[in-house]
Amino acid sequence: MPLLNRKRKITLWTRIAYGSANLIGSGASNIGNAWLLFFLTAFGNIPVWEASIIFVIVSWMDVIMNPIIGYISDNLYSTKIGRLLGRRRFFILAAMPLMVIYSFIWTSGMSFWYYLILYLLFEFGYDLFMVPYETLATEMTQDFKERTYLTGARALFGNIANFLTGALPGIYFMLLGKDSPYAFLATGGTWAAVMLSVLILVYFNSWERNPEEVPNEQAGSLLEGIKKLFIDTLSTFKIRAFRLHLGNYLFGAQGALVVFTTVFTYYIIYALNQQPTLVSAMNSLNSIMQVITTFTFVFICSKKGFIKPNLVALTLAVLSVLSYGALYLLDAPDTTLYFAVIGITVVMGVAMGGTYYIPWTVYAFMADIDELVTNRRREGVLAGSMMVCNKFLKAVLLLAIGNILSAFGFKAGSNVTQPDSAIYAITLLMVAGTVVFILIAVYCTCKFKVFNQETYGVIIEEVKRVHNGGRIEDVLPKNREICELLTGYKYENCFGNNNVGYKGKENQFPKHKESVK
């Protein structure tokens, strides 16, 4: 057995190494969302609409590359290099040199093309690592408990990444000056070193299944693989529970918070006329509150389900954003303003702890509802669909933010006075933009009212019953109603008796058409 593919025992160190990857997954995104647009306009001297185009182009590359990388990774064992280095871990090696590029993105005074090309190269390296990494927990162990520990370690390091990336810019502001572009360069360089170290750590403390264990995972031609990927991805939107989950995830956990975190930096610095160090301090405080309240939401959701806790978190987020906006209208003294921002940030951290945690927990049950409809296990397809939608929405939002600010007269540069029209646009974007997205998430959550621990048990019960030979027409009336509400399909049209998804030989279970009257 090749050394690189040899299975080993999962230890505490293995969990730490695996979870540390979220220093890349969450860390780089957090720094970029909070500071990159500001850096490009303030120290890159790029008009805000041009800077937003950089994000759009990079996001569209992600939309294209993520499924392609996933397809290549699934089939890399058919090549010599895959059988030598692994179909997943090969990409960790390929991503290593591209992590270094992250530090050079934060060089001031360069051109639009400089920032675009470097950001594209870094994001390509990010995709090379993150897409195959998503599969490693499944590759490394089939044990439910061990896999849960691995994903738990990942969540913990996500919170650690939030705190570190919130605090790091503030440290360099104090050391190098709040108006120094070198503070951003130092932040980028430090995090590039962290990410490279993480790749090395994950590479030497992970493994995957051998080629002989996955003979049936090889796909046909590239054209057929692309066709399957396209059909399966689009088919996920046909499932009612997934559509509602996607609405909550995209507009609550992603869309609203992308708008908020992107514009929050501008709001504190230009609308409230405060220092960048306050932005860094509040991002750190927000992250600390998320760490604390995530564990609280875990306990509450285990007792009360997901719907009410999610509505509470979304409501707190709305109240927090409205309170931030009120500070601009009140024109309070700096001392009062400072303590008010701290208090609101504590509440916002509580809200974000729930809005981040709950959608990902709900997502863990989507594959079972999807199986009820398609008669297949499509975790990867569902994850890919979420990722593509997330990247697409982010691209649209950043382009809109850039064009709105530009239209209202926002000026590039670090030592410029913004016109009142730009300040009004910043305030309106942060408050109205965030609240509107959260309200959409609230609507989707309320429509999801039939999903709880009891109804999830019904889904598992029905899948097990039919796969064990039970007849479709023998379903209990209550179970039928729950299944139809969650899937959006008549019960007789579940278990693959429909046109949902790619129809190939990979279906894992028989369709049971013979039991339908």
For every one of its 517 residues, what pLDDT tens digit does the chain have, with 9 covering 90 and above? Answer: 344 445 578 888 888 998 898 888 888 888 888 888 889 988 888 898 888 899 889 888 888 887 777 777 777 777 788 888 888 888 999 999 999 999 999 999 899 999 999 999 999 999 888 888 877 877 777 665 676 677 667 777 877 888 888 888 888 988 998 788 899 999 999 999 999 999 999 999 888 877 776 544 444 566 777 777 788 888 999 999 999 999 999 998 888 988 998 899 899 999 998 888 888 889 889 888 887 887 787 778 777 778 888 999 999 999 999 999 999 988 778 888 989 999 999 999 999 888 877 887 777 678 788 889 988 877 667 777 887 888 888 888 988 998 899 899 988 766 778 899 999 999 999 999 999 999 999 999 998 866 677 787 888 889 889 988 889 889 999 999 999 999 999 999 999 999 898 876 544 445 554 444 3
374-407 in b/e form (b: 16+ CB < 10 A) is bbbbbbbbbbbbbbbbbbebbbebbbebbebbbe
CA distance 378 to 362: 15
| Nearest to 91, CA basis, from 239, 256, 208, 181 | 208
CA distance 302 to 453: 8
Residue range 230-451 in CATH 3.40.50: no
Amino acid at 149: Y
Output the pLDDT for position 2. Answer: 41
CA distances in angstroms from 490 to 238, 470, 471, 482, listed in the order given: 13, 17, 15, 11
Contacts of 338 (CB under 8 A, 6+ apart): 274, 278
User: 8-221 domain in CATH 1.20.1250.20?
Assistant: yes
Dihedral, 327, 330, 334, 335 alpha carbons, nearest 10: -90
pLDDT at 1: 37
**Ranges of CATH 1.20.1250.20 domains, the chain:** 8-221
- Confidence at residue 218, expressed as pLDDT on a 0 to 100 scale: 46
- C-beta of residue 277 within 8 angstroms of C-beta of residue 173: yes
Cβ-based neighbours of 470, under 8 Å, separated by 6 or more = none
Q: How far apart are CA 407 and CA 305, in angstroms?
A: 44
